Structure 1
Amino acid sequence: MSTSIARSRPQVSILSPHSWGTGDSGARSRHQVRALTHRVRMTTQLPRLLTTAELSEYLGVPIRTLEGWRDPNNPQGPPYIHVGARVRYPEDRLADWIAALSRAEEGR
């Protein structure tokens, strides 16, 4: 004789991040936190970070040129950040830098 056990899944409501910590429904379950975290990740758009080699290929300049442009005494290259010991170029800031170069060329 076989018996089937019907398992019901807990009801998890997807709450907006704005309701976190407002005391609206008390403590969150692990599943609710995971769903909220996933939702926040999906709405947060981080810029793509290019490597020096990728940017070198895109701009058509040698890697050494990009390294020279990062000279703190004479900064003239694209904006960059350090991620640990590595240099990365945020794609959204590169677009602004290229647009500024274009405007400077038009002004000549």
Structure 2
Amino acid sequence: MERHQEHSITNLLNETRAAEYLGLSVRTLQAWRVRGGGPVFVKLGRAVRYRPDDLNAWINERMAASTSALEVRT
């Protein structure tokens, strides 16, 4: 396994830590996984994990200067 891959695997966040990082509830992340619209995630068997870079990218995609500039997201 490459060193970069090993490093990224050790940095994966479980859904509790990802929710804390985003300031959201675990239930919100769970709902988004079913409906879509949330950050991308990694499924490892039964475990769900999030990469910090993906969470940051998801946050950056939602940057806006005003509410009128926001797209309606489902």
The answer to whether TM tops 0.5 is yes
TM-superposed deviation, 1:59 = 1.4
CA deviation string 1:20-61 (max 9, x = no partner): xxxxxxxxxxxxxxxxx8xx53xx253221110001111121
Match of 2:50 in 1: 89
- Structure 2: any 5+ residue segments left out of the alignment? 70-74
TM-superposed deviation, 1:106 = 3.1
Residue 75 in structure 1 maps to residue 36 in structure 2: yes
Residue 55 in structure 1 maps to residue 18 in structure 2: yes
User: How is 1:1-108 mapped onto 2 (pairs within 5 angstroms)?
Assistant: 41=3, 44=4, 46-47=7-8, 48-71=11-34, 74-102=35-63, 105-106=64-65, 108=69
TM-score with structure 1 length normalisation?
0.52
Divergent runs of 4+, >6 A: none
Larger RCO, structure (CA 8 Å, separation 6 or more): 2
User: Take 1:92 and 1:59, find their aligned partners in 2: how far apart are those partners?
Assistant: 12
TM-score with structure 2 length normalisation?
0.72
Higher Rg: 1
TM-superposed deviation, 1:81 = 1.1
Structure with greater proportional helix content: 2
